[in-house]
């Protein structure tokens, strides 16, 4: 998960690429070994390559700990262990922030489900862009923009979705199984606004005049954020 939509793999630094562009006499001085000992170093980057299967985890942990011992800080965020709450049409975790990253928030995490036919209601996020990673199932999302523009796309496992801050959108499960996906936000706090919640807290006459609906229809709308519809 990267908090910059412009991230590219070509902006990462690889160890082998770095070493290949450093003179061996410099490496020899840096590591305190002879230049001959470095003769087998790769002359170009190695991106994905075959190596030996690692041994016991404890051995790697001991090597990484060195003389200082293991770090007291836990760098693992166990999404599946976070508390979840149930709705009539789906499950989701509460919003938790990964403590090691001050400006990254997740909603749903690995516990965001939409059952077949379920829909994450029309809503928007006022304070941050949204990144999505689809884990399983099939979904459809429409994102609305200014100037009467909108885009609808289908998503499946392995796909990534992106919604700019403040743009209204919804996600619908179009498959026969649960739709499971991640939602991530570059923000120290999670915020969203549901369309139905907004409309039911706006003067009724104004809403009815805009939408051409009667009072009974307006009063039937959820008064609080429904999250997943239908209830």
- Can you tell me whether residue 47 is helix, strand or coil? coil
Structure tokens at 206: 């104004």
Tokens of 230: 């239908």
Beta strands in 47-187 (DSSP E): 84-87, 90-93, 96-97, 105-107, 113-114, 119-124, 130-136, 138-144, 150-156, 160-163, 169-173, 179-185
Is-catalytic flag, 121? no
User: Residue 131: beta bridge partners?
Assistant: 162, 184
Contact 147, 179 (CB under 8 A): no
Determine which one of 121, 130, 172, 183 is catalytic.
Answer: 183
Structure tokens belonging to residue 191:
């915020």
| CA angle in degrees (0–180, nearest 5) for 29-31-32 | 65
Active site residues: 183
């Amino acid at each position: 998960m990267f908090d910059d939509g412009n991230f590219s793999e070509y902006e990462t630094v690889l160890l082998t690429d770095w070493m290949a562009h450093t003179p061996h006499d410099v490496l020899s001085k840096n590591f305190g070994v002879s230049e001959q000992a470095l003769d087998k170093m790769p002359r170009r980057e190695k991106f994905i390559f075959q190596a030996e299967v690692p041994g016991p985890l404890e051995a790697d942990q001991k090597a990484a700990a060195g003389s200082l011992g293991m770090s007291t800080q836990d760098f693992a965020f166990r999404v599946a262990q976070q508390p979840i709450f149930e709705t009539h049409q789906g499950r989701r975790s509460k919003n938790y922030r990964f403590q090691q990253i001050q400006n990254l928030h997740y909603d749903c995490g690995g516990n965001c489900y939409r059952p077949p036919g379920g829909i994450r209601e029309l809503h928007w996020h006022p304070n941050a862009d949204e990144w999505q990673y689809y884990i399983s199932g099939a979904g459809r999302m429409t994102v609305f923009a200014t100037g009467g523009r909108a885009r609808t796309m289908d998503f499946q496992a392995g796909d990534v979705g992106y919604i700019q801050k403040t743009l209204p959108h919804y996600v619908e499960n179009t498959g026969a199984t649960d739709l499971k996906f991640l939602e991530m936000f570059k923000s120290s706090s999670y915020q969203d606004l549901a369309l139905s919640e907004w409309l039911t807290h706006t003067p009724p006459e104004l809403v009815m005049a805009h939408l051409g609906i009667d009072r009974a229809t307006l009063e039937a709308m959820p008064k609080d954020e429904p999250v997943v519809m239908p209830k």
